[in-house]
């Protein structure tokens, strides 16, 4: 079994939006992320994917729950140097590469920000050499260093965002819908770059997306979120072959099919959360339907799902 890099247990992130209203953005979510893997996290807009990512790397103080990184507690009281250490090991790439890059900074300064904070270059020359190297790593070049974000295309900006994340040599990167804002023709390029970097640097990814189309291609395992809960978690292959939770089935049925004949007859499955009709004394939790494949369900549903599972 692969080594665990992150262990997320019973993570809750509630937001108070004026009493008595509370948004349970992440509501008791548990999963592990293994070293060197890509874990895809999918679900419709507003289901809590970004909040999960942000809570993991402590952009928010979690309402409750635990996050271990290499066995060390990420949350709780931390000294400045401990925080700095975590910040270096965990980086984030954002959906909108334009909003996340300071328009008044040159590409070199954007990329070197982490290098400066963490003192990773001793001289100005070394700093610039690192920047040039990083630009090359992400498929840009030296000439781009003194330009500003607006001079680049969306795909190039996302490459700058990736270079900025890589600058501090992280182990773990949360990519929050990194390709959602890009033209379809550019999406594959960015995903391929991420895959290549993962192989070269042994990176671990949490890859967030709102649909299942690109996620299968990049993910080793996929987690499906619905309304603050993780409802299914499985290897990418098994999730597509054996979707158990009705919400997963509905997400899968939303993917357009390349074959026109199949696309014409594609049956879109709608999910109605009311269908579960759980009563108060039923225990609803993640249950393991086959090794490594978990589905959020009651005991009764679990028995039904077992009957549907294709070996």
Ligand X SMILES: Nc1ncnc2c1ncn2[C@@H]1O[C@H](COP(=O)(O)OP(=O)(O)O)[C@@H](O)[C@H]1O
Chain positions contacting Mg ion, by CB under 5 A: 50
Q: Does 42 bind ligand X (CB under 6 A)?
A: no
- Please say which residue, 175 or 295, places its beta carbon nearer to Mg ion: 175
- Please say which residue, 208 or 218, places its beta carbon nearer to Mg ion: 208
- Which partner, ligand X, Mg ion, none, binds residue 278 by CB below 5 to 8 Å per kind? none
**Cα–Cα distance measured from residue 62 to residue 222, given in angstroms and rounded to the nearest whole number:** 23
Among the listed residues 223, 224, 217, 225, the one whose alpha carbon sits nearest the alpha carbon of residue 198: 217
Q: Does 45 bind ligand X (CB under 6 A)?
A: yes
**Cα–Cα distance measured from residue 78 to residue 55, given in angstroms and rounded to the nearest whole number:** 15
Distance between alpha carbon 115 and the CA centroid of its chain, in Å? Answer: 24
For the bound state, the minimum distance from the C-beta of residue 159 to ligand X, rounded and expressed in Å, comes to 23
For the bound state, the minimum distance from the C-beta of residue 261 to ligand X, rounded and expressed in Å, comes to 33
- Which partner, Mg ion, ligand X, none, binds residue 184 by CB below 5 to 8 Å per kind? none
Q: Does 48 bind ligand X (CB under 6 A)?
A: yes
**Cα–Cα distance measured from residue 276 to residue 213, given in angstroms and rounded to the nearest whole number:** 26
Residues facing residue 38 across a β-bridge? 205
Q: Which of 49, 157, 164, 245 is the binder for ligand X (CB under 6 A)?
A: 49
Q: Does 47 bind ligand X (CB under 6 A)?
A: yes
- Please say which residue, 148 or 227, places its beta carbon nearer to ligand X: 227
Which regions of 17-84 does DSSP assign to beta strands (E)? 22-34, 38-42, 64-69, 72-73
DSSP 182-195: S-HHHHHHHHHHHH
- Please say which residue, 51 or 137, places its beta carbon nearer to ligand X: 51
Q: Does 23 bind ligand X (CB under 6 A)?
A: yes
Q: In 3-state terms, what secondary structure has residue 308? A: helix
How far, in Å, are 5, 194, 239 from residue 213 at the CA level?
A: 26, 16, 13
- Which partner, Mg ion, ligand X, none, binds residue 159 by CB below 5 to 8 Å per kind? none
For the bound state, the minimum distance from the C-beta of residue 25 to ligand X, rounded and expressed in Å, comes to 3
- Which partner, ligand X, Mg ion, none, binds residue 112 by CB below 5 to 8 Å per kind? none
Q: Which of 3, 46, 103, 306 is the binder for ligand X (CB under 6 A)?
A: 46
For the bound state, the minimum distance from the C-beta of residue 238 to Mg ion, rounded and expressed in Å, comes to 25
In sign, the C-alpha dihedral spanning 117, 121, 126, 130 is negative
Strands 38-42 and 221-226: parallel
| 224, 284 Cβ separation under 8 angstroms | no
Tokens of 219: 């993910």
For the bound state, the minimum distance from the C-beta of residue 23 to Mg ion, rounded and expressed in Å, comes to 14
Report the C-alpha dihedral over residues 194, 211, 155, 58, rounded to 10 degrees.
-60
For the bound state, the minimum distance from the C-beta of residue 129 to ligand X, rounded and expressed in Å, comes to 37
Q: Does 55 bind ligand X (CB under 6 A)?
A: no
For the bound state, the minimum distance from the C-beta of residue 256 to ligand X, rounded and expressed in Å, comes to 21
* Positions in the binding site for ligand X (CB under 6 A): 15, 17, 23, 25, 43, 45-51
């Amino acid at each position: 079994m692969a080594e665990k890099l992150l262990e997320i247990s019973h993570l809750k992130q509630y937001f108070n939006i004026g009493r008595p209203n509370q948004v349970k953005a992440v509501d008791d979510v548990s999963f592990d992320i293994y070293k060197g893997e890509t874990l895809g996290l999918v679900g419709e807009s507003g289901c809590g994917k970004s909040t999960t990512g942000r809570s993991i790397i402590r952009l928010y103080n979690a309402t409750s729950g635990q996050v271990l990184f290499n066995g060390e507690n990420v949350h709780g009281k931390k000294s400045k140097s401990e925080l700095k250490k975590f910040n270096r090991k965990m980086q984030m790439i954002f959906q909108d590469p334009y909003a996340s890059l300071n328009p008044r900074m040159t590409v070199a300064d954007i990329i070197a920000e982490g290098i400066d904070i963490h003192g990773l270059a001793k001289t100005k020359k070394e700093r610039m050499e690192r920047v040039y190297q990083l630009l090359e790593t992400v498929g840009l070049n030296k000439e781009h260093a003194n330009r500003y974000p607006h001079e680049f295309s969306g795909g190039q900006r996302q490459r700058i965002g990736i270079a900025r994340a890589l600058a501090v040599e992280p182990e773990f990167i949360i990519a929050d819908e990194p390709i959602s804002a890009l033209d379809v023709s550019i999406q594959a390029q960015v995903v391929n770059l991420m895959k290549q970097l993962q192989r070269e640097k042994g990176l671990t990814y949490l890859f967030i997306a709102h649909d299942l189309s690109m996620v299968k291609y990049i993910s080793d395992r996929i987690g499906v979120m619905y309304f603050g809960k993780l409802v299914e978690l499985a290897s990418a292959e098994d999730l597509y072959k054996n979707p158990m939770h009705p919400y997963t089935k509905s997400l899968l049925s939303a993917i357009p099919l390349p074959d026109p004949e199949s696309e014409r007859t594609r049956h879109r499955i709608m999910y109605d959360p009311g269908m579960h009709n759980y009563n108060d004394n039923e225990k609803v939790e993640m249950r393991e339907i086959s090794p490594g494949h978990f589905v959020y369900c009651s005991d009764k549903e679990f028995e039904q799902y077992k009957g549907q599972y294709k070996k």
